[in-house]
Chain A
Amino acid sequence: MRALQELSRALGAPRAGLLMRVLPPALYVGRARMLVLRASRVSRNIWIMILSGVCEPLFFLVAMGQGLGGLVGAVVGPAGQQLSYAAFIAPGLLAASAMNGAVYDTTYSVFFKLKYAKLYDAVLATPLGPMDIALGEIIWALIRGGMYSAGFLMIMLVTGLISSPWAVLALPVALFVTFAFASVGMAATSFMRSWQDFGLVQLAVLPMFLFSDTFVPLSVYSPAAQWLTQASPLYHAVTLLRDLTTGAIGWSMLGHGAYLLVMTAAGILVASGRLKALLLH
């Protein structure tokens, strides 16, 4: 628990300095880490938390990798090599679970605290501002996402699904993916009016989860469908991570990274523009 709090401080503190100069104090007083502290108090048992986060992609990996893999046999990897189906979907599941976790933490969870638990009303009565809240929630999503990703990468390593030392970069990339989806999730939440709107979140996330080269190799689709798939942000996350775990390093990775970077920036821009209207009315 203590380690978690130390980590949250390390993550929260250096951000404070730069943002404090850019943002007006009515929005941000540099205490985002206090929200992380709150979140860490709530989730008392980290091990249970990690376990539950790792379990979901693990179930998919075992079922699909073992069961479906037995039917499919090998598939073609990013560098043209033969890849077991499990080794193909593992990085996809890593990216998808980073997405799912980040989206959950910044949509459902934030919306609940905003509209039902009235948690942020209580926080805003203290010196903290809307940006402290948004950053605090995003940092917490990163901490959680980081732990899930690390856990899942360990499993991949132990079960021999990693075939390249470049995979050491998979953890920071997974964190980056979490951050990208967290910022977009936060922006989306600022438009939510009721629970009914979450049907739309699902409608965005589920097709991405299923069609972004996660389970099904891109090559089986028609050119039009391939083009559509490549527009999905998760596709770029999956491809980046698969390139790293299978060692297919190339310049195209910069393109995937740039896509996610633009998405992150757009998310932050929209979210920070709307937070004030959302929280202070």
Chain B
Amino acid sequence: MSDSLVQARGLRKWFGALEAVHGIDFDVQAGEVFGFLGPNGAGKSSTMRMIGCVSPRSAGELQVLGMDPDTDGPWIRSRLGVVPQQDNLDLELSVQDNLHVYGRYFGISRAAVRAKAVELLDFVQLTDRAADPVEQLSGGMKRRLTIARSLVNEPELMLLDEPTTGLDPQARHLLWDRLFQLKQQGVTLIITTHYMDEAEQLCDRLVVMDGGLIVAEGSPRELIARYATREVLELRLRPGARNGWDETLKDVADRVEELPDRLLLYASDGEAALAAAHQRGVQPVSSLIRRSTLEDVFLRLTGRSLVD
């Protein structure tokens, strides 16, 4: 317990009548990458803002780096690196001035912040854009600059709210690579995302949030084992084909899900399930056997309907 960097017990947040976080418990250990997964409105960002000491909690306990955000906010923030959901770079300043000015907010000396900026721009591959106005950067470059900015105070704990949303695959992979490097340097990372592949790639441990509550917790592998099967068989059906197959196929798989155009059979052996389905008269247009992913876990836990 003593080496957890963030500890929450019964943590709640409400805005007037709207309750965003309904009482959650979690621990983030030093050196791990901890993920918050969940659909929009699940309470991830509210939780991140409470950890970041910019949003006072409404009830419950919260300790960050062993301190209380309500009273020790400035000291906690001086050891945090924050990458918000939407880049809030200073558009009126150049790339390097963004780092200089931000470093000065942390009270870092001019000489030190200048040296640090050179190092960070190299780390995020923006050295040749140092003197450009931020405005001219692409989305991926801005994201990298935001990450560089969050590192200016050499944080022990980083909070990354949807770090790769809206980026192209190249930019995403570059960011993942940088986050791995940080983890190897011993930085603890807390990430929110709704990209399942990202969570599987990066997180040691994660919690799935839905409607302000934590609905599952564990490593990606554990969650898949607990909430999904080893494989998934997807059968694409002819449009307008009869429904009710889930009854017929009930005992072929651990769980059968019927979608308008597809049948999903969660089974440990996809080939065997396919053979059994054929035997019972299912004639799919096509079939696909794949490994279960966190996405299956996610959809199982939070449902398929849109949350807005």
Contacts and interface: CB of A to CB of B under 8 A. Distances in A.
Direct A–B contact in complex, judged by CB atoms less than 8 Å apart:
yes
B97 interface: yes
Contact of A34 (B82, B93, B101): B101
A122 B15 CA distance: 21
B125 interface: no
A144 interface: no
Interface in A266-281: 280-281
Contact of B88 (A26, A31, A41, A119): A119
A280 B80 CA distance: 17
Contacts of A15: none
Interface in B82-130: 82, 84, 86, 88-93, 97, 100-102, 104-107
B52 interface: yes
Contact of B73 (A122, A129, A281): A129
Nearest to B88: A118
Interface string B8-21: 00000001000000
Contact of B77 (A37, A121, A127): A127
A172 to B, nearest CB: 29
Interface string A123-150: 1111111000000000000000000000
A116 to B, nearest CB: 10
B60 interface: no
Contact of B102 (A31, A121, A122): A122
A41 B103 CA distance: 14
Per DSSP, are chain A's interface residues mostly helix, strand or loop, or mixed? Answer: loop
Contacts of A125: 52, 54, 77, 80, 82, 84, 150
B219 to A, nearest CB: 29
A29 B75 CA distance: 10
Give the size range of B's interface with the partner: 20 to 34
Interface in A22-48: 24-26, 29, 31, 34, 37-38, 41-42
A31 B73 CA distance: 15
Nearest to B150: A125
Nearest to A117: B91
Contacts of B153: 126
Given A37-B104, A123-B105, A128-B105, A26 B78 contact: no
Give the size range of A's interface with the partner: 20 to 34
A122 B107 contact: no
Given A117-B88, A118-B88, A125-B77, A34 B70 contact: no
A119 B90 contact: yes
Most buried by B among A34, A38, A127, A128: A127
B71 interface: yes
A127 B75 contact: yes
Nearest to B78: A127
B74 A127 contact: yes
B88 A37 contact: no
B139 to A, nearest CB: 16
A124 B54 CA distance: 7
A41 B55 contact: no
B130 to A, nearest CB: 14
Contact of A126 (B15, B72, B78): B78
Contact of A122 (B74, B88, B100): B88
B305 to A, nearest CB: 29
Interface string B176-191: 0000000000000000
Contacts of B90: 38, 42, 117, 119, 122
A281 B50 CA distance: 10
Given A37-B101, A119-B90, 12 more contacts: A25-B73, A25-B74, A38-B93, A38-B101, A42-B93, A117-B88, A117-B91, A117-B92, A121-B84, A126-B102, A126-B106, A126-B153
5 contacts: A38-B93, A41-B97, A125-B150, A127-B78, A128-B74
Interface of B: 15, 52, 54-56, 70-75, 77-78, 80, 82, 84, 86, 88-93, 97, 100-102, 104-107, 149-150, 153
6 interchain residue pairs of minimum CB distance: A118-B88, A126-B105, A127-B74, A125-B82, A122-B88, A42-B92
